[in-house]
Amino acid sequence: MIAVLPADCDEGLLAELCLLLEGRGWTGEVSRGEEQTVLVVSGPESLSDLEVVLDGRVDADVLPIGDARFYERRRRNRRRMHGLVGGLAILVALGLGLPVLSYLRAPDSVFAAYEFVPVTSFDRLQEHSAQLVRVHSRLVLVVRLEGERLFALSAECTYMEDCQLEWSRERQQIVCPCHGGVYDLYGNVVEGPPSIPLTSFDVDVVGSDIRVRRGV
Amino acid sequence: MIAREEGLFSAVWSVLRKPVPPGFRSYLAFGWMIMLLFVLQIVTGILLSLYYEPKPNAAGESVQLIMRDVSSGWLIRGLHHWSSTGIVVLALLQLLRVFVAGSFRRSPTSWYLGCLLLLFVFAQAFTGSILPWDNQAFWWATGAVEAIESVPYVGPTLVSFLNGGPEVTDHTLSRAHALHVMVFPWVGLVAVGLNVWLLARQWSRQREVQQ
């Protein structure tokens, strides 16, 4: 234990305190500083016993000091805490780093989007009709007018992407059943709430196959 | 009282039980939290720019690609989106704190710089919200542009600079992208750097006085 006493503590009083401590089987060592005097007490007694000895004799603050096992425990706890924090830091770094690494690898659809994909054929797509197809996870409306006049446009309304567009044979336009948006075959907004035109896709014909790719 | 606990949980518990230093206040962390989110914005912004295409007929498509096809794209875009919202909220709270506590008197330059940074944060949030170029972004841009146009004297000039003309068109997207990616981040970096330098100088002066 350490007792912190005033810097101007009387020498006689200090000697008396040391004697009292030795009488109880303890040892006391005095260290004088500029700001305070420190009395280091070693012995088997408790904090309250020392306070009883000092009480009334001098204005002192007693700081408890644990035994060797106590400090060993604290050191062990500190090491465990360092390990825990380090482990958590590694987990956080992995948790953020792995998604970033996987993000850096471009998905196949990025490159495949620039290649023509066969989606339907003239046998299945009659004149003045449309067919809904999927190109790299995107819904595309392929419209056939007369002969080989073909158009391919995104089938998702730009006003609200969850709304799936439909081909209107009567109007010869693409309409949205949700909010009444209407687009022409080039993707331009004709009427209704949308403000952004539809994305158009390139169309290619090989034999009777109709192929589509993302517009370049 | 001497602690006698053993084990990992007691190690955690002893840290949690440690008293907080007397000078600490939660609101002092706002500035550092904004800095952290700013760094997150830069990192996720660079990652998003790997796939984003600032072309009117491809912007929406590329955002959809990031959200649907790119692995963890939703996470990167989500972090970019929500950390920008966090910066707006924290920047407002920080300025409010500095104003209410009267701290601006100690360093007026830092206060003006903070106000400039708030404007920069709003400008970044505005230009960033245009980039997906979907219907929502279009109307958001139209509404914001009309509001900016009503600013006395400089409004119409600002709007023609933002749009490249009187109305929101495809050029608005190009200009928003240029400002969001190539102009404002540098302005922000310089302003943040200056602010940190001013604060560091102020702290070292305070320390000298205390010593």
Q: Search chain B and give the residue with CA nearest A102.
A: B71
pLDDT tens digit sequence for B58-108: 888 889 889 988 999 999 999 999 999 999 999 999 999 889 988 888 778
- Mutation target vs B (from A63, A98, A188, A195; most B CBs, 10 A cutoff): A195
Per-domain boundaries in chain B: 24-210
d(CA B31, CA B37): 10
Structure tokens at B48: 């998003």
Q: Do A195 and B133 touch (CB under 8 A)?
A: no
Q: What is the DSSP letter of A13?
A: H
d(CA B122, CA B102): 24
Asked if B211 reaches chain A (Cβ–Cβ under 8 Å), the answer is no
Buried b (16+ CB within 10 A) or exposed e, A109-122: bbeebeebbebbeb
Average pLDDT over residues B153-182: 89
pLDDT at B127: 93
Pick one of 3.30.70.141, 1.20.810.10, 2.40.50.140, 1.10.357.10 as the CATH number of B24-210. 1.20.810.10
Instruction: Check if the interface score ipTM surpasses 0.95.
Output: no
Cross-strand pairs, A142 = A131, A152
pLDDT at B7: 66
CA angle at residue B77 from B75 to B82, to 5 degrees?
90
Asked if B28 reaches chain A (Cβ–Cβ under 8 Å), the answer is no
User: Would you place residue A161 in the very low, low, confident or very high pLDDT band (cuts 50, 70, 90)?
Assistant: confident
Distance of CA A117 to the CA centre of its chain: 37
Average pLDDT over residues A79-86: 90
pLDDT at B3: 44
pLDDT tens digit sequence for A178-196: 999 999 999 899 998 888 8
- Beta sheet of A150-154, edge-to-edge order: A117-121, A209-214, A200-206, A150-154, A138-144, A129-135
Name the minimum distance, in Å, from the CA of B8 to any CA of chain A.
Answer: 6
Residues A103/B70, Cβ–Cβ less than 8 Å: yes
Q: B2 pLDDT exceeds 60?
A: no
**Is beta strand A189-191 parallel, antiparallel or unpaired with respect to A182-183?**
antiparallel
Chains A, B: CB pairs < 8 Å: 82
Please enumerate residues of A whose Cβ is less than 8 A from a Cβ of B.
Answer: 64, 66, 70, 73, 76-78, 80-81, 84, 99-100, 102-107, 109-110, 136-138, 154, 158-161, 193-197, 199-200, 214-215
pLDDT tens digit sequence for A101-143: 999 988 876 666 678 888 899 888 989 899 999 887 788 999 9
B181's CB contacts (< 8 A; 6+ apart) are B45, B49
Q: What is the rounded average pLDDT for all residues in chain B?
A: 86
Residue A25: burial class (beta carbons within 10 Å; 0-12, 13-18, 19+): exposed
pLDDT > 90: what percent of chain A? 30
d(CA A214, CA A113): 5
d(CA A154, CA A198): 6
Residues from chain A contacting residue B130 (CB–CB below 8 Å): none
Q: Do B11 and A81 touch (CB under 8 A)?
A: yes
pLDDT tens digit sequence for A35-67: 889 988 887 667 777 777 787 788 888 887 777
The kind and range of the H/E element at A72 are helix A68-104
Name the minimum distance, in Å, from the CA of A103 to any CA of chain B.
Answer: 5
| 3-state class (DSSP) for residue A3 | strand
Residues from chain B contacting residue A137 (CB–CB below 8 Å): 68-69
Work out the end-to-end distance of chain A between its first and last CA atoms, rounded to an integer number of angstroms. 81
